Structure 1
């Protein structure tokens, strides 16, 4: 386990983090990557642990597309939105950083040990806590200031009222950073906090391009028109309305196996994602 300690005020302590009101005196870093990775252009993607299938799909798509455009994806390795954001970045061989609310030697939650192993292959795991420090409820709000502090912008995918993701957004606002929000269903409790941020003036995110615009990056994707035949037809249908394989087969009067093959092709090029058996178009526009 390659663990290093970065002291505040000494390079390569990340400059954006040093600029927040209460930066950690030291930052513990795990992974073989150069700690200067912490100074690269980064975006935080955060949200609910108990998220919807839609939230998981959006978080993974954003992680994939933002990392694919060259941003470092930062999150907290928690269940739900955080984990999907990390996985999305890893899907395209991108770089992702996980910030822990416990000692640097812990993979928390333990169920994400494999995910942690994938993150440190090219990215980093960081914590302000040395090895041996146990997780505690009060440590996680404190670590959220680091997530926000490492990034120029924080994207909230889904958040309940009084959630940890809202704490991260508050830290970002205090730091003078951009807060962006994926609109959620108005009847869903899991989106109550994120929709409240929109009412307060947060920037809405309806595509990865909205986030990249804040960084001066243009996302160039393959035109939808370039996808012909059944693949193009299936993409058009799931762009109108998320659907299962059986629903698409009935609507298009095509065998389910042919629909499944088209969806696999679309997944491989990042045009659709699946959650709980429902397929959705990616957020690229």
Structure 2
């Protein structure tokens, strides 16, 4: 029996090599805009972006491209093309087209997959088992606490935490995964080089360095209202399931959950008080068939069927050679690393330094005990301002050091 050798681990420093012959033709197809379906059809028929462009107007029309798309292929936007080429030439940047066997298999099996993905970071994460963690942009303290607990437990279980980098639950999920030295990726509603919301710019940089940023939009694309439901479909399509922590009756998180269900993925919802308007969306999901979850074991149990599909596809992918001169990206599982190695190589996310690293954190930690204390008590004991106490408490909650109950704070056991 012949020996089976795993391919070498993916090296992000080698991504973004513009020597791959298909990069410029692929970018021309992406920048043509319009409906993605006809361009996918064209790629499937031609076999490669270069061949698709070489076939000319008759083949483009036969594939269903409209006049605007065909005109854009004949005369591409030189500025946008130059910007996209510059972006893709930088280390750690990858463009994965529909024609590429490295295109994420779970996303490929959704109703309207994007023509290409712009990835800043490690594209191998897009083939790893992941759960989308989504919810309110203005979560309650209990919602933040639940997000921290589930995100940390997912990392400990070997899962990747995925989300959309929005304010609130998304931010807490990404930051918690990074703080736990775990993998995380963010699906963006902008180009891969645009920070949105602006306040998450530092967190976005941390995700790019230790995980991955993913977008279907070329570099330079700013935030547009219509891009975010589209972003949600990619997030739902890349992941094994979607966990909704808190969501009001009308919420973008519910769109992600609906798209996940339509793609045959599991949907999980965390219940809450009937008096909390931010869990009405979760309760509606549960009434509609989502799985009510209280702990990570219930989430993992529901993921098994889709995880088996992903594992089978990954085994198949490892037998297929990479196309062109570019690197094998999502087809290569990332190198196994110990917790010590991860901690040494993964930067601490901004604002999440350990409580013992700074004197003011230590003063507040010393003011906390196993019994709940009010904000006023903590201000008095620590000598810090209320603003400082509030900020540090949030950091400690995200680190799992502190829990909150009825507006009072205490050390976790």
> Matched residue of 1:5: which SS?
strand
> Matched residue of 1:48: which SS?
coil
Aligned twin of 1:124: 212
Does the 8 Å CA contact 2:107/2:113 hold for their aligned counterparts? Answer: yes
1:163 aligns with 2:251: yes
Does the 8 Å CA contact 1:57/1:275 hold for their aligned counterparts? Answer: no
> Matched residue of 1:143: which SS?
helix
TM-score (norm 2): 0.55
Q: Give distance in 1, aligned partners of 2:375 and 2:246.
A: 28
Matches within 5 A, 1:9-48: 9-31=99-121, 33=122, 35-48=123-136
The verdict on how the C-alpha distance between 1:278 and 1:154 changes in structure 2, with shifts beyond 3 A counting, is: farther
Q: Give distance in 2, aligned partners of 1:273 and 1:106.
A: 34
Does the 8 Å CA contact 1:68/1:89 hold for their aligned counterparts? Answer: no
Aligned twin of 1:183: 271
1:150 aligns with 2:238: yes
1:244 aligns with 2:332: no
Which of the pair is proportionally richer in strand? Answer: 1
Matches within 5 A, 1:251-266: none
Q: Which 10-residue stretch deviates more, 136-145 or 190-199? A: 190-199
**What 5-or-longer segments of structure 2 have no aligned partner?**
1-89, 308-368, 383-392
Matches within 5 A, 1:99-110: 99-110=187-198
Q: Give distance in 1, aligned partners of 2:205 and 2:406.
A: 25
Q: Report the CA distance between 1:280 and its aligned residue.
A: 7.5
Q: Report the CA distance between 1:277 and its aligned residue.
A: 6.1
Q: Report the CA distance between 1:271 and its aligned residue.
A: 6.6
Does the 8 Å CA contact 1:62/1:88 hold for their aligned counterparts? Answer: no
Does the 8 Å CA contact 2:242/2:260 hold for their aligned counterparts? Answer: yes
Aligned twin of 1:193: 281
Q: Report the CA distance between 1:128 and its aligned residue.
A: 0.4
Q: Report the CA distance between 1:268 and its aligned residue.
A: 10
Q: Report the CA distance between 1:153 and its aligned residue.
A: 0.9
Q: Report the CA distance between 1:57 and its aligned residue.
A: 1.4
User: Stretches of 4+ moved more than 6 A in 1?
Assistant: 246-249, 266-269
The verdict on how the C-alpha distance between 1:195 and 1:105 changes in structure 2, with shifts beyond 3 A counting, is: same
Q: Give distance in 2, aligned partners of 1:49 and 1:270.
A: 20
RMSD of aligned Cα (Å): 3.1
Q: Report the CA distance between 1:43 and its aligned residue.
A: 0.4
**What 5-or-longer segments of structure 1 have no aligned partner?**
218-233, 238-242, 250-255, 258-262
Q: Give distance in 2, aligned partners of 1:133 and 1:9.
A: 23
1:75 aligns with 2:163: yes
Does the 8 Å CA contact 2:142/2:404 hold for their aligned counterparts? Answer: no
TM-score (norm 1): 0.78
1:3 aligns with 2:90: no
Q: Of the two, which has the highest radius of gyration?
A: 2
Q: Report the CA distance between 1:276 and its aligned residue.
A: 9.8
Q: Report the CA distance between 1:117 and its aligned residue.
A: 1.5
The verdict on how the C-alpha distance between 1:248 and 1:163 changes in structure 2, with shifts beyond 3 A counting, is: same
Q: Report the CA distance between 1:134 and its aligned residue.
A: 1.2
Does the 8 Å CA contact 1:149/1:175 hold for their aligned counterparts? Answer: yes
Q: Report the CA distance between 1:68 and its aligned residue.
A: 2.0
Which of the pair is proportionally richer in helix? Answer: 2
The verdict on how the C-alpha distance between 1:117 and 1:178 changes in structure 2, with shifts beyond 3 A counting, is: same
Q: Give distance in 2, aligned partners of 1:25 and 1:133.
A: 16
